[in-house]
Structure 1
Amino acid sequence: MTTVSARLGALTRRHPWGVFCCRRAVRLTLSLLVVVTASFAMIRLVPGDPVRAALGVDAPPDLVAAKRHQLGLDTGLSAQYWRYLRDLAHGDLGVSLVTGEPVADLVGARLPTTLLLAVLAFACVLVVALPGGLLAAVWTRGGRRPRAELAFTATTSALAGVPDFVLAAGLTAGLAVGLRLFPAAGDLGPQSYVLPVLALALAPAAVLLRIVRVETLKVLAADHVRAARAKRLPAAPLWLRHVAPNALTASLTLAGNLLPGLIAGTVLVEKVFAWPGIGSAMAQSVAAQDYAVVEATVLVMGSAVLVVNFLVDFALALLDPRSVIRET
């Protein structure tokens, strides 16, 4: 036992990045299995008969029974679960109960619009919050400009506390219906992205702005930054080498934690703006108890969150390689 532990310790010291990658890969695989199980179980907790809902209340009992047998819904949950795993392993997402369309085609048609919406929103969050938080910290450090600090805190607190669908409705009423600057619904071109992206990005950007400001203030008060200031280090090296990397490492960790909420918010935002994406498909399929579509949309959105968090872990490790050594 001691020999095995010693060998593992030597391997860890020799190949810290390999151990880091293996651990992250195992964690990602287990998390994906949890998402797959959750996508299977979630819709089955909703009361009602999906086959009867799809065929109508007046459908003959023999037709309902035949459809249930065709879909394998007349077997036990364990048999349905193993069939679901087997079909996933073969890339088969099933067929929609409502439309009869292969779910893979539906996901392939709707996924790009949702991905683009989420990527644009997350990019806006980072572009606004990272430099904005750094500037806010410099502007208000040491108790300077208390009115500006109060305005910053009040504005970011208000935006962070407003739900996505309320922001979406307010933006629609003000900028689409009132001023007629942007389309109110649908994907009608580049202008159609403005309101959904704002509805998704405003609250996370407000949260991250406050986090970046607080982290930057901590770094500015650190001993090594004070020492660099005492040595009259020029502003560019001071910020690029000492302040920004330390402040942004912690901030990016928390930004990765905001992403699941942002992706989940696409469901309501897409519903408000009649956006032809995965979120609106999920909302419609839950109401119709369309098992295959719900399972596929939950699986896709959950997997997207896990993969992005996986990439964020690597980005943070690249920013601070010492964390890899400490972990292993």
Structure 2
Amino acid sequence: MTEFTNRGVQTSEAVVLEAFPPPNAVRRPSRAMHPWLSFAIRRGASLIVTFLALVVVSFLIVQLIPGDPAFAIAGANADLADVERVRQELGLDLPLGQQFMTYIGQVLSGDLGTSFIYRQPVSTVILSRLPFTATIAVAGIVTVLLIAVPLGMMVGLLTRSGKRSWLDTGFGVITGFLDSIPGYIVATFLVILFALGIGIFPMLPPAYSTRMVAESFVLPVAALVIGPICTVSRVVRRETAVVLENDYMRTARGWRLPASKQYVKWALPNLLTTTLTLSGLIFSGMIGGAIVIESVFALPGLGTGIIKAILDRDYPVIQGMVIVIGMIAAAINLLVDVVLGLIDSRNLGGSHANA
């Protein structure tokens, strides 16, 4: 009897797939370049253009910073001769065009320069601070996906076809309110409540050391993810409502197929396509959010590093951090596109999509 029932479910599923194939199940043969090869070429070219744009912007942006770093480095008691000597050592006395060509040559050769203040390679300064920012950003993105997607799907399922309108309204109001609060205000509130008030989490990490304690990152990650969780979960809820009304989902429910096949195998991949496309910008923005949040919590990451470099007019550090932060954001967008391509190869774009 069990075998007959299982065979009946498998037959029903086959009929549903044949009658109403889900969008992510459609695969068309490619008549031109392989989709992944075309994707790699296009995205590789895009990364090169992004990198070159960051190099140009990072050079020009330091020219807008008021003041002369030579005065800060020479010291308050230095005379004009000492300041001019420092300018010559740093190459700041050269024409702007010559400085730009020298900077381009250094960056393309993999040399981000030497810090004016620390007298160390910029790459060393960045690598010492990158783990803090990367920990917050990666933990934040993973947390957003693990919470926002199931939460949005659950609300979408419970409010399907106009059911439980109170839940739909309450969910929208609460998430909209939380999403409207700036991250630094959320961070300040969490510090007051959980660090200074209850005292269950430390306010500051170990004093500017590379030793990381997990408890020190709970509040920064929480402050970073609350807004994105609200945004992504609303997107998932909306996409879940749309996907559940498609013909193939209606037919699957009519055949009483298992919920795991309905929601995990068919609904989830199709709603993730739109969700991840819209969330890619959110994830990139979380890098900037991490920089702000770590400043609130005094984490010695890229955020506090670039602020200090601006105050010290440490041009090479500013330029190096701008390039690194920009490329991290570009890498996140690339990762999102790769995941979308794995879900459905038509998301790779190019001529193969219409083949």
Same fold by TM-score, threshold 0.5 exceeded? yes
Please give the alpha-carbon distance, in whole angstroms, between the structure 2 residues aligned to 1:232 and 1:104: 58
Larger Rg: 2
Please give the alpha-carbon distance, in whole angstroms, between the structure 2 residues aligned to 1:281 and 1:307: 21
Structure 2 partner of 1:60: 79
**102, 120, 128: which is aligned to 1:101?**
120
Give 2:245's aligned amino acid: A
1:103-157 Cα shifts (integer Å, max 9, x gaps): 2221111111211111011111111111111111011222222222222111111
Please give the alpha-carbon distance, in whole angstroms, between the structure 1 residues aligned to 2:281 and 2:274: 11
Give 1:84's aligned amino acid: Y
Larger displacement relative to structure 2 (51-60 or 74-83): 51-60
Q: Which runs of 5+ in 2 are unaligned?
A: 1-29, 207-211
Question: 1:23 Cα shift?
Answer: 0.8
Larger displacement relative to structure 2 (210-219 or 224-233): 224-233
- 1:170 lines up with 2:184 in the alignment: no
Question: 1:17 Cα shift?
Answer: 2.2
- 1:318 lines up with 2:335 in the alignment: no
**54, 73, 80: which is aligned to 2:99?**
80
Give 1:73's aligned amino acid: L
Assess, with a 3 A threshold, how the Cα gap between structure 1 residues 56 and 241 changes in structure 2: closer, same or farther.
same
Please give the alpha-carbon distance, in whole angstroms, between the structure 1 residues aligned to 2:154 and 2:277: 20
Matches within 5 A, 1:227-266: 227-266=251-290
Please give the alpha-carbon distance, in whole angstroms, between the structure 2 residues aligned to 1:139 and 1:218: 14
8 Å contact from structure 2 (residues 284, 332) kept in 1: no
Structure 1 partner of 2:312: 288
- The size of the alignment, in residue pairs, is 318
Matches within 5 A, 1:32-43: 32-43=51-62
Give 2:66's aligned amino acid: P
Q: What secondary structure, in the 3-state scheme, does the structure 1 residue paired with 2:228 have? A: helix
Question: 1:57 Cα shift?
Answer: 4.1
- 1:150 lines up with 2:169 in the alignment: yes
Matches within 5 A, 1:121-160: 121-160=140-179
**215, 222, 225: which is aligned to 2:239?**
215
Matches within 5 A, 1:5-24: 13-24=32-43
Question: 1:80 Cα shift?
Answer: 1.4
Please give the alpha-carbon distance, in whole angstroms, between the structure 2 residues aligned to 1:179 and 1:24: 48
Structure 2 partner of 1:192: 216
What's the Cα RMSD here? 1.7
1:200-250 Cα shifts (integer Å, max 9, x gaps): 111111100101111111111112211222222221111123211110111
Return the TM-score normalized by structure 1: 0.92
Larger displacement relative to structure 2 (305-314 or 144-153): 144-153
Give 1:207's aligned amino acid: T
1:35-58 Cα shifts (integer Å, max 9, x gaps): 121121112112221221333343
Please give the alpha-carbon distance, in whole angstroms, between the structure 1 residues aligned to 2:73 and 2:31: 55
**244, 250, 262: which is aligned to 1:226?**
250
Question: 1:81 Cα shift?
Answer: 1.6
Using the aligned pairs only, state the percent identity. 36
Q: Which runs of 5+ in 1 are unaligned?
A: 1-10
1:69-126 Cα shifts (integer Å, max 9, x gaps): 1111112222112211211233222222223232222111111121111101111111
Please give the alpha-carbon distance, in whole angstroms, between the structure 2 residues aligned to 1:53 and 1:225: 66
8 Å contact from structure 2 (residues 149, 233) kept in 1: yes
Larger displacement relative to structure 2 (57-66 or 115-124): 57-66
Please give the alpha-carbon distance, in whole angstroms, between the structure 2 residues aligned to 1:284 and 1:155: 37
Return the TM-score normalized by structure 2: 0.85
